Chain A
Amino acid sequence: MNTSRRKILQFMGGSAVGALFTPVPWRLITDAALWSENWPGVPVPVRGESRTGFTNCSLCTAGCAVRARLIGEQPVALAGVPGHPVSRGALCPFGLTGHHLPYHPARVKSGPVKEAWAAVADAIAKGDRIAVLDLRPGRTASWTYRRAMAAIRNGAYIVPPRPLGPATAVNLAAAKTVLSFGAPLLEGWGTPGNVIALRDGFRLIQVDAVESRTAALADLWVAINPGTETELALGISNVLSGGASGINPARAASATGVSEQQIAELARELTGNGPAVVLDAAGSSAVLALNTLIGAPGRTLVTRRETPVPEAWKKAAPATELAEIPERSVRVLLIDESAPGEYIPWGEIRKKLAANPVVIAFAWSRAGYGRYAQYVLPAAVYPETLEDIPPAIDAVAPVFRMTVPLQAPPAGMVNPGEFIATATGLPRGDALRERSDAIHKSGRGALAAMPDGKLTPVKEMKPEDLWKALNAGGYWMDTPDEKAAPPRLALAGPEAGPVEAASFPLVAILTEARGSAAPASPLMSKLYQESNLRLGPGRAALHPATAKAYGIEEGARATLETAQGRRDIFVILDSAVPPGSVKVASGPGVLDICATGERARVVPA
């Protein structure tokens, strides 16, 4: 038999057709897919007997109690603690997937520690202005920073803006009406377990341009034109003050799309069904000022006492808001973004830096200020960290709980508190233990111990027992200070006027108005994105009609532009986004150029 090229091709053709009728190609495709789901790069939990550990989630200030299932020294599943007196078993998707974070692909694993150390030492020796920007004030580490900055010649301790004041808490238990301007009250605001427990006690009116999950679950959703929250607040203010302040309701109605009658009705509800409180996701002064008009301070807005600290700590640098720092004055800026907190746009920080500044970021990834810092020092990430969590906005009394490590951090991680304390010559000590002892010395409050949340008065405990219980996930809580003076709202002047609409015809709506650089499990994000529950990073949603007007199609690449800058985005279409607006996934890169209500435009790539 002669073997020709034609014959070989005929044989191969026959084989290929035959193979299609066998399991071979289909099984190989399936197996390759299965292999890719379990390929060697995916962290695999060790096998073995499980045990239970407890901690408190530090991904936000809610500090929800966490029950962890551990195999060896590795957490493999996290859940809430049902008997907990404050978090009441709640744990959000971020918290449930927190144990993925040590394996996040964006994690910083090493950094120029020696060089950063030398830069700080040099600045201290020269007496240059050194500042610590603490994105999560109120922790024991925050007191370390304040003490460290007081110990050097020219130190400053900087905190993000606090429009409600430094120690103001929202007393939801006392509120009968809550008027929320975009605050995600039912989807992660404050302490979710506490909010849900109190939900039946107040009427929730949600002002939102989009039907958020909170809006959908509210008693009343007031749909307004995007970016007109201030106008609505000023219209309500005008009704409440009898025309003495704010803007004419007719003008407010025209701008917001909310009728004059409804504006008057909202004002009536705030006064007639009180006590009431007004919340704002963006922290706008015009909105929060309504609280003063309805008498919220002292009733639904209360002053929370400081959690006890050792007397020796009180000689510390004051907490200064960024706006109060003189421009071009800071030579060395140390930014602690190891614990998720509020993100301040880089443009506002840059104004405060002197010529040739040194910026050092303690961070888990380079996605935040690491993009601008000369030195990015790797920090441990939850659940590897040991630190306390400041009180949430709805905690009316002082609290103290710690996130205790469920697993050891990798080698080379830098503890920001230790770094700054050592650099500035603070005496070595265990600040958390000292804080625990100060709480014990005060004799105030009670400790909810894990696993059942049983309360034991501190007076009945020994200092060692309190410390031990706190290290086992315990939660210390005090009683509210009934004699405390009502808080004074630190409201700024009127906000900057709107940018000209012709250049930037769209209004930006951010998914998180004052979003933080909180890490999220990449696996959770993947699931949320695939199910369209959460806009993924770098994505923006437009109404189909808006997209058509600008010639943008589903899945197109485009540029989001504002007066502050531009950013590449990936566009999806969503008919739930109001026409004339663009809904943008929040994140450090977006927050640098854009805030909710900001004018923007989307330009096709």
Chain B
Amino acid sequence: MTSFKPSGNFVFLAGMLIALGAGWVGFPYAIYRTRPQPVNFSHKVHAEKAGTKCEDCHAFREDGTYAGLPTLDKCSACHAAPMGTTAAEKAFIEQYVTPNREPRWASYARQPENVYFSHVTHVKTAGMKCETCHGNTGATDSLRPYQEDRISGYSRDIWGRPLANAAFRSEGGMRMDDCVACHRRQGLEHSCLDCHK
């Protein structure tokens, strides 16, 4: 049996192809840490059956500041007892409502500390719709897993161009490029300090 003697070009090419494969297929998975949301929450059910609007739960405070994610108090107002018989509902009541424990939601849209984003300015002053940035999140039936960059700690939704990973698709435009593009379209691109502090 003759032994396989690859040429130098072949070895070089093999190394290159393996690196390309690892870089384009493996790396986009490896760079992100994935964790599920604590509760299988359905925006769709709440919007369609309960008739809630975005601002019913993601409210502005009296002073105009944005309260962000609702706390358990808000959920408990309706879910003091199970509403339905689904496993997700039962788990939510047992794990969070009954022991009065706040769910540790992972916010897809949370910007890093060096960014200042004002919901009031965008929603109240500019009259933008939630969907402009958050996409169709309000119509989804379940929460997708939260993905966090292992090095920077940023949510996958807020920074960087999409890598070659078809399995993941951002729901809206909350990356810096999206912000810049929109500000540019509106003629509101003034300075880095508009958003960065």
Task: Verify A10–B12 contact, CB threshold 8 A.
Answer: yes
Task: Verify B11–A18 contact, CB threshold 8 A.
Answer: no
Could you say which interface size class chain A belongs to?
Answer: 20 to 34
Task: Verify B15–A10 contact, CB threshold 8 A.
Answer: yes
Known: A23-B27, A34-B151, A44-B113. Contact between A14 and B13, CB under 8 A?
yes
CB contact list, A12-29 vs B, under 8 A: 12-19, 21-24, 27-28
Task: Verify B19–A14 contact, CB threshold 8 A.
Answer: yes
Task: Verify A11–B11 contact, CB threshold 8 A.
Answer: yes
Inter-chain contacts of B12 with A (CB < 8 A): 10-11, 13-14, 17
Task: Verify B4–A1 contact, CB threshold 8 A.
Answer: yes
Least CB distance, B3 to chain A, in whole angstroms? 6
Inter-chain contacts of A14 with B (CB < 8 A): 11-17, 19
CB contact list, B53-106 vs A, under 8 A: 61, 63, 65, 67
Task: Verify A10–B8 contact, CB threshold 8 A.
Answer: yes
Known: A35-B151, A37-B112. Contact between A24 and B13, CB under 8 A?
no
Inter-chain contacts of A31 with B (CB < 8 A): 31, 149, 151-152
Nearest A residue to B19, CB-CB: A18
Known: A34-B112, A50-B65. Contact between A18 and B5, CB under 8 A?
no
What string of 1s and 0s marks CB contacts (under 8 Å) between B1-35 and chain A?
Answer: 00111101001111111111011100110010000
Q: How many residues of B contact A (CB 8 A)?
A: 38
Known: A14-B19, A15-B16. Contact between A24 and B27, CB under 8 A?
yes
One of B11, B24, B112, B193 near A7 (C-beta < 8 A): B11
One of B4, B5, B11, B193 near A10 (C-beta < 8 A): B11
Determine whether A52 belongs to the interface, using a CB cutoff of 8 Å to chain B.
yes
One of B5, B13, B16, B24 near A23 (C-beta < 8 A): B24
Inter-chain contacts of A32 with B (CB < 8 A): 151
Least CB distance, A266 to chain B, in whole angstroms? 39
Least CB distance, A278 to chain B, in whole angstroms? 38
Determine whether B145 belongs to the interface, using a CB cutoff of 8 Å to chain A.
no
Determine whether B181 belongs to the interface, using a CB cutoff of 8 Å to chain A.
no
Inter-chain contacts of A16 with B (CB < 8 A): 15, 19
CB contact list, B133-182 vs A, under 8 A: 149, 151-154, 159-160, 163-164
Task: Verify A1–B20 contact, CB threshold 8 A.
Answer: no
Determine whether A502 belongs to the interface, using a CB cutoff of 8 Å to chain B.
no
Task: Verify A27–B14 contact, CB threshold 8 A.
Answer: no
Determine whether A2 belongs to the interface, using a CB cutoff of 8 Å to chain B.
yes
Q: How far does the alpha carbon of A49 sit from the alpha carbon of B62 in the complex, in Å?
A: 12
Task: Verify B18–A18 contact, CB threshold 8 A.
Answer: yes
Task: Verify B3–A19 contact, CB threshold 8 A.
Answer: no
Task: Verify B23–A49 contact, CB threshold 8 A.
Answer: no
Determine whether A356 belongs to the interface, using a CB cutoff of 8 Å to chain B.
no
Determine whether A125 belongs to the interface, using a CB cutoff of 8 Å to chain B.
no
Determine whether A243 belongs to the interface, using a CB cutoff of 8 Å to chain B.
no
Task: Verify B19–A38 contact, CB threshold 8 A.
Answer: no
Nearest A residue to B8, CB-CB: A10
Determine whether B114 belongs to the interface, using a CB cutoff of 8 Å to chain A.
yes
Least CB distance, B8 to chain A, in whole angstroms? 5
Inter-chain contacts of B61 with A (CB < 8 A): 49
Nearest A residue to B193, CB-CB: A527
Q: How far does the alpha carbon of A459 sit from the alpha carbon of B170 in the complex, in Å?
A: 64
Determine whether A428 belongs to the interface, using a CB cutoff of 8 Å to chain B.
no
Task: Verify B16–A1 contact, CB threshold 8 A.
Answer: no
One of A17, A19, A52 near B63 (C-beta < 8 A): A52
Q: How far does the alpha carbon of A22 sit from the alpha carbon of B4 in the complex, in Å?
A: 30
Inter-chain contacts of B63 with A (CB < 8 A): 50, 52
Task: Verify A18–B149 contact, CB threshold 8 A.
Answer: no
Inter-chain contacts of B27 with A (CB < 8 A): 22-24, 27
Q: How far does the alpha carbon of A203 sit from the alpha carbon of B32 in the complex, in Å?
A: 63
Determine whether A42 belongs to the interface, using a CB cutoff of 8 Å to chain B.
yes
Inter-chain contacts of B5 with A (CB < 8 A): 1-2
Task: Verify A27–B160 contact, CB threshold 8 A.
Answer: yes
Least CB distance, A25 to chain B, in whole angstroms? 9
Inter-chain contacts of B112 with A (CB < 8 A): 34, 37-38
Known: A1-B3, A23-B28, A27-B163. Contact between A18 and B20, CB under 8 A?
yes
Q: How far does the alpha carbon of A16 sit from the alpha carbon of B152 in the complex, in Å?
A: 24
Determine whether A6 belongs to the interface, using a CB cutoff of 8 Å to chain B.
yes
In this complex, the member of B16, B17, B61, B63 whose beta carbon has the largest number of chain A beta carbons within 10 angstroms is: B16
One of A18, A27, A30 near B16 (C-beta < 8 A): A18
| A residues lining the B interface (CB < 8 Å) | 1-2, 6-7, 10-19, 21-24, 27-28, 30-32, 34-35, 37-38, 42, 44-45, 49-50, 52, 527
18 pairs, A vs B, C-beta closer than 8 Å: A10-B8, A10-B15, A11-B11, A11-B14, A15-B15, A15-B16, A15-B19, A17-B12, A17-B16, A23-B27, A23-B28, A27-B27, A27-B31, A27-B160, A30-B152, A35-B153, A45-B113, A49-B67
| Nearest 6 interchain pairs by C-beta | A22-B23, A14-B15, A18-B19, A18-B16, A34-B152, A31-B151
Q: Besides A21-B23, A22-B24, A34-B152, 16 other CB < 8 A contacts? A: A1-B3, A2-B3, A11-B11, A11-B12, A11-B15, A14-B12, A18-B18, A22-B22, A23-B23, A28-B151, A32-B151, A34-B112, A34-B159, A38-B113, A49-B67, A50-B65
| B residues lining the A interface (CB < 8 Å) | 3-6, 8, 11-20, 22-24, 27-28, 31, 61, 63, 65, 67, 112-114, 149, 151-154, 159-160, 163-164, 193
